Amino acid sequence: MARRDGLPALLAALGVILLAARGARAQCFRIDGSSPDQSFEPCNPSAEVSACCASNKARPDLCLTSGLCYAQDSGFEGLLFSNGCTDRTGRASGCPSFCPPGKLSNRNEPLSSPPPRPCMAD
């Protein structure tokens, strides 16, 4: 007969691991690849790659289907902007992108300038 003395401990450890994995979520990154504060959350937590908005605060930004964020904070109400993505490079197809490749305006603006930056004309 096999010993089962360690079975309860093994099952408890497995349960903790499963709960931790279930609670894990993708990390958001700003458009320059840096890590934002804890208010940023993926708009679609179940997606492999998602746009991110500052949704974890008293007056949360709203995630729009376009990947833009709709601000509700005092002084910023109604502004639309891009806050980042769960892909550090921002180049994954699930990240918000509003200009075709090679068409992002290059008006001597740093990468971290407030988006959305304008697209170049054809």
Residue 37 lies in a domain: yes
In angstroms, the CA 35 to CA 2 distance is: 50
What residues form DSSP beta bridges with 52? 42
Residue 108 lies in a domain: no
Residue 61: pLDDT band with limits 50, 70, 90: very high
Domain boundaries, position 88: 25-96
Residue 44 lies in a domain: yes
Residue 5 lies in a domain: no
Residue 43 lies in a domain: yes
Tokens 């008293």 correspond to 58
What pTM was estimated for this model as a whole? 0.62
Domain count, the chain: 1
pLDDT value at residue 121 = 56
Residue 17 lies in a domain: no
pLDDT value at residue 98 = 67
